[in-house]
Structure formats: structure tokens, C-alpha cells
Amino acid sequence: MSKLYLQRLLSRRQFFIGGISTATAIATLFLTKLQVLSYLIYPFKSEAGKLADLQSRKFVVVGKKSLQQRARSKGIIYGAFPEADDRKFAKDSEFRSKLVSECKMMPVGTYWYTHRPKPDTFDFTSSDYFVKFGTENKLLMRGHPLVWHEFLPDWVAATVTKDNAKQILTNHVETIVKRYAGKIHSWDVVNEGIDISKGRRADGIRNSLWMKFLGADYLDIAFRTAAKADPRAKLVYNDFGVEYDSAGYDEKREAILNLLQRLKSNGTPIYALGIQSHLFGDRHPFKPRKFQEFLKNVASLGLKIMITELDVEDRHLPKDIAQRDRLVAAAYEDYLAVALAQKAVVSVTTWGLSDRYTWLAGHNFRADKAEKRPLPFDRNLKPKLAWNAIARAFDRAPKR
């Protein structure tokens, strides 16, 4: 992985409010803005208090069905992002086998930086491999993302102008979606289009390059272009920062709802809201009221909801594996109990399946230098309590 690739990847989760350091400073400190916000404005319980609350929870699972089987029995799709690049994935037969047995859905990355290195050049090497693998193994594929303000090649800023922005954007979306037409279940058409940081627009729409040259209509343009290129694909707006009960999240929820209402009123062909759900293991107990209301409001617009990038950050949890795994499992179970109670939630995708491959390992390092354990399976592909927690959530969810 190149240094530039890593630097861009580290800035993926960008979410901050006035008074917090700039993105550059935070990236230098290997802290995402979302985590800075969380630790500044949310009072956490002590580790001892949280563990005491969890002692009676055994995370018992009945039967030997996989996560995808448990989810399917309730009308829910379960999947996981492989996280490994195509070369690592191709060499790891054990991991591939586990992913196929546990998952029905798999996202494939279609980032501008990797897929369009030059204005007139596309590179589909990686996505072709994953789509072929998914098709052969009867997996539903998710494309992520078509339009995102991050992870752009340098030529974009140097080339895009008011005169050519629409042509470049529509050409990009059309080219990628047409290539995989009929093979992609759903697309994250626009990713993280809301920004509630200091100096934000009144409507919360991010001041991205596309916003600068095309205005807020760029979202509608992207969705309509994707729909024309593949009318069967389900089109999703994907974002983060809506789960917790605190001021910054209140603003983010409101801005996203306003955007969704705008898209619906414009007749934009949007199928679902994608909620990333990068959770924090040291947020206990989970306070669900505002999140429940948000899900209800999204569903009332006639939209489905997809949990798209679920994982649990364990950076500040105890080093003891038994204690840490219990807290991570509790974060999964408490969150999914709320999310899956809303029948508009039709899929759950974890951002990784095994701790062998996780983006969280690459930054926000633990002070004790212990390896992170944010996912359902450990590095050896053995199920953890997190797997039990997800399984239990599916088992208890109402049918769709």
C-alpha cells in the first residue's frame, strides 16, 4: 500500500464541529474527526462499570447456522467487505471460503483514485476480479462509491471546471455502472455528501468540488445517470454520524433527512439510505431514542435502510481479550437490536469479516500496541463474541 493511498484512506471518516482541529492536524495525529467529537462531547462510563453491566449477558447462540442464513430467515441480507485487496484476497483461500459461507453480499470498491488514474483512463483490474468472484459464488455485489469527495486522483482538482464538471461526472458514473450492469445489487451513488463542520452551508451539503461547479443538483445528476446506466440496480445515498445521542449527531441526522426529503421531492431514483455505523466499543450504554426516531423518519419517506459499513472501534477498551471482546459484542448487539427492529432495514454489511483484514488496524493505534479486534471473526477466522452478538440480533429481529 502506497503512502499516498494510506494517507487518503486515513481521512475516510471525516466528521467534526466548530472548535475541533482541522482535518490535516487530526490526520497527523491519526485521529478521525468522528472520534475526536465522540470523546469531547460524550461522557463514558468507566470500564469497570461497563463490564459489571455486561456480566449477566452470556451471548448464547442456538444452532449452527451462518450469519447469512440467520439473516435470510428474517428477510435481511448479511454481507462483509473483504477489505483485502484483490491480490491478497486471491491468495487467501481460507478467508475466501469463510466469506462465502458466512455472507450473501460483498461490497466492491470503485474509488476514483484506483479506477480512474487519468481523465481518459479507467482501470477495472480490481473490481473485475471481485465482481467475477462474487458472480461465481452467487454473492450479491455492492458498488462503493460512485461519487465521493475523498480518495480522488490529483488530476480531478487540476482538470475539473464549471464547463466540464457535468460531463466528467456523468461519464464516470455511466462508464462504471454500465460495465457491471446486471451484476451489482446496489450502488452507493453518493458517499458522505453532508458536512456539518464549521463554516458549513446552511443546508449541510458538503462544499465538495462537485458542489462548487454543479451545485446541489450534482446528487440528482449522479443518481439519474446511474439509474439510466442500470435500471435494475438499487441506488443508495451513504453517510455516517447518525447513531449516537449528542449534539453533533443531531445536526447530522437533521441535515441527512433534509437531503433525503429534497431527493424524494425531486423524484430522484433513490432506493435507500446507507448508514455506515462505525461504532465505538466504549460507548455504553447505547441510547437509542433519537436513532430510533431517525430510522422511523427515513422509513416514512418510503426509503429502505442499509447498514453498510458496520464495525466496532476498540482502541480505548481493556487489553484483556475476554473483556474487550465482551464490550465489542455488546456494542454490536445493542446497536443491531435497535436498527433491526425497524423493518425498513433490509441489509447489514460489516466493514470486514475477520480481524485479519480491517482498516482500523492501520491507524488510531492502541496505546498498549495490542492488535485490534473489531470484527466477527479473529485473525484465525474463529468466531468471537461479536459473531454471537450479530447472530443473536438476526435471530431476534422481526421478519421483513
CB atoms within 10 A of CB 274: 28
Secondary-structure breakdown of the chain: helix, strand, coil percentages, each rounded to the nearest 5: 45, 15, 40
Amino acid at 187: W
Q: Please say whether the beta carbons of 174 and 138 come within 8 A.
A: no
Please name which of 97, 168, 94, 90 lies closest in space to residue 128, comparing C-alpha atoms: 90
Per-residue burial over 236-255, b = 16 or more CB atoms within 10 Å of its CB, e = otherwise: bbbbbbbbbebebbebbbbb
Which residue of the set 309, 313, 333, 371 is catalytic? Answer: 309
Q: Name 304's Cβ contacts closer than 8 Å, sequence gap at least 6.
A: 234, 271, 272, 273, 344, 345, 346
Report in angstroms the alpha-carbon separations of 374 from 6, 102, 191, 199, 332.
Answer: 19, 17, 23, 34, 10
R_g (Cα) of the chain, nearest Å: 20
Verify whether residue 94 is a known catalytic residue.
no
Q: Please say whether the beta carbons of 82 and 126 come within 8 A.
A: no
Q: Name 339's Cβ contacts closer than 8 Å, sequence gap at least 6.
A: 275, 277, 291, 295, 305, 307, 345, 348
Distance CA 313, CA 284 (A): 13
Please name which of 269, 178, 184, 182 lies closest in space to residue 222, comparing C-alpha atoms: 269
Please spell the DSSP secondary structure of 162-194, one letter per residue.
TTTHHHHHHHHHHHHHHHTTTT-SEEEEEES-B
Q: Please say whether the beta carbons of 71 and 105 come within 8 A.
A: no
Return the active site residues.
309
